[in-house]
Amino acid sequence: MGIETPGLRESKKQETRQLISDHATRLFIEQGFEQTTIAEIAAAARVAKKTVTNYFPRKEDLALDHHEEFTASLARAVTGRADGESALAALRREFGTALERRDPVAGFAGPEFARMIADSPTLTARLRDLHDQREEALAAALADAAPDASPAIAPRAAAALLAAAQRLLFQRIQELTLAGHPNDRIAATVAPEAAHVFGLLADCLGDFPAATA
């Protein structure tokens, strides 16, 4: 009998997690999020209900399974910015890259997925929570980057403005997706709109905080 290595075990866990997520997404799109049960997802994935809840403690996480990446994305852009680069410049650059990649974290989830969220009060509320968590993480990153900021509320104020801009652009991409626009057309529409939104913030935020920690 072969010995299962830690790497193999982790690989199998990831495969199981992805299998459950894929079946859950399919059922949510076909039946609606509210109408689909954990038991149905477990049966489709051929696993026990407990296995589903072990991997996804909240039903919403089955649909929004990139939530950790989403909530950390803005803070990560700030902490990883180039030396001397402002938070605004870093987030503007990262958003441009996300547009080029048609990144789901920026809102490129496809019409079926976007409709699934729009039709579910539970998922709509959860997405609002995730936007709030993303803002909180960004505020913490900005506070770390500018520990002596004056007034003390400055990092939170900057985070509120930057996160609101990101939320608006995410919603815009979802709006255009639901209107039936293809991703390339969405990106072409949103790029100049994003430039306008970020431009509005330039006078407010300047180079805050320019220096890396």
Closest to 91 measured CA to CA, from 31, 170, 179: 170
| Cβ atoms of 68 and 196 closer than 8 Å | no
CATH class of the domain comprising 67-205: mainly alpha
Among 2.40.50.140, 3.30.420.40, 3.30.70.1350, 1.10.10.60, name the CATH number for the domain at 6-63.
1.10.10.60
| Per-residue pLDDT of the chain in tens (213 residues, 90 and over written 9) | 455 677 788 888 999 999 999 999 999 999 999 999 999 999 999 999 999 999 999 999 999 988 899 999 999 999 999 988 999 999 999 999 999 999 999 999 999 999 999 999 999 999 999 999 999 999 999 999 999 989 999 999 999 999 999 999 999 999 999 999 999 999 999 999 999 999 999 989 989 986 444
- Where are the chain's structural domains? 6-63, 67-205
